[in-house]
């Protein structure tokens, strides 16, 4: 991790809350602010970062310093590493037990040549098990490491994220703040906002847990359209929401 100034682990106790999308959008917001950013996808069984950035089919290569990440643009402002780059096809399944997963994560953290990065965002799978423990062990003692927790508004997701808060506190990882994703749907025709999954669960959890609340992210129908057409999410405007969230995170560093 030489050359990496700040590490942010994106976590949630619940699957399907949009961690990968939040990770990508956060990276793009930081990139637009002028920072050099890295994005590490440690969701070994469900790697979606390459697809979200339209990097499917890319291959990583070894350099003298280790694995060279994939760059999303010529100026190398966003570097990406994922197990998806090591699979023969995007339909291959990773069928591994814990020890092999742990070894892969340690290799990603220790052997990727990120060069100089202001921020490294780590996208994690849901839960508080092998992958998360491996990350914590590898990053123990690393300066400026923190986590951003993602939830959706409904009670079942909030309950699982509450366990993630306990995990972070037991392992000594600083919690930078909490994001409420899928918080309302704004109609593109009339601009009326409908709270599909209720609203305020994430903000209430942050308040009750004495954590910074980073903001609400509404459902964006453009995201689904872009993924169907293989258009890079980064080709869309990051929007004021993620710019505001990124500024809050930078302000804590």
pLDDT of residue 245: 96
pLDDT of residue 225: 62
- Yes or no: say if 17 and 150 are a contact pair by the CB < 8 Å rule: yes
> How deeply is 64 buried, as exposed, middle or buried, from its count of CB atoms within 10 A (0-12, 13-18, 19+)?
exposed
**What is the Cα–Cα distance from 206 to 224, expressed in whole angstroms?**
28
Domains of the chain in sequence order: 4-252 (3.40.50.300)
pLDDT of residue 2: 78
Task: Return averaged pLDDT per consecutive 10 residues of the chain, 253 residues in all.
Answer: 91 90 94 96 93 91 90 94 92 90 92 94 91 89 88 90 94 94 82 80 94 91 59 58 94 79
pTM of this structure: 0.92
Give the ranges where the chain is alpha helix by DSSP (H).
19-32, 49-52, 98-111, 130-139, 155-171, 201-208, 221-228, 239-252
pLDDT of residue 167: 93
pLDDT of residue 144: 85
Structure-block tokens of residue 164: 């993630």
């Amino acid at each position: 991790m030489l050359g990496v100034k700040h590490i942010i682990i994106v976590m949630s106790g619940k699957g399907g809350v949009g961690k990968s999308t939040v990770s990508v959008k956060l990276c793009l917001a930081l990139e637009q602010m002028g920072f050099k950013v890295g994005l590490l996808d440690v969701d070994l069984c469900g790697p979606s970062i390459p697809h979200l950035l339209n990097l499917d089919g890319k291959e990583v290569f070894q350099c003298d310093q280790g694995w060279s990440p994939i760059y999303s643009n010529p100026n190398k402002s966003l570097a990406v590493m994922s197990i998806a780059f090591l699979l023969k096809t995007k339909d291959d399944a990773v069928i591994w037990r814990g020890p092999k997963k742990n070894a892969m994560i340690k290799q990603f953290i220790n052997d990727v040549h990120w060069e100089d990065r202001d921020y490294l965002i780590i996208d994690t799978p849901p839960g508080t098990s092998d992958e998360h423990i491996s990350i914590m062990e590898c990053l123990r003692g690393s300066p400026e490491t923190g986590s951003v927790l993602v939830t959706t508004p409904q009670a079942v997701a909030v309950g699982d994220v509450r366990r993630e808060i306990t995990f972070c506190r037991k392992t000594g990882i600083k919690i930078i703040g909490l994001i409420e994703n899928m918080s309302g749907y704004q109609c593109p025709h009339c601009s009326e906002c409908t709270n599909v999954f209720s609203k305020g669960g994430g903000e209430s959890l942050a308040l009750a847990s004495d954590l910074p609340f980073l903001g609400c992210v509404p459902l964006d129908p453009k995201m689904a359209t872009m993924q169907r057409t293989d258009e890079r999410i980064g080709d869309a405007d990051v929007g004021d929401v993620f710019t505001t969230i990124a500024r809050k995170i930078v302000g804590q560093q």
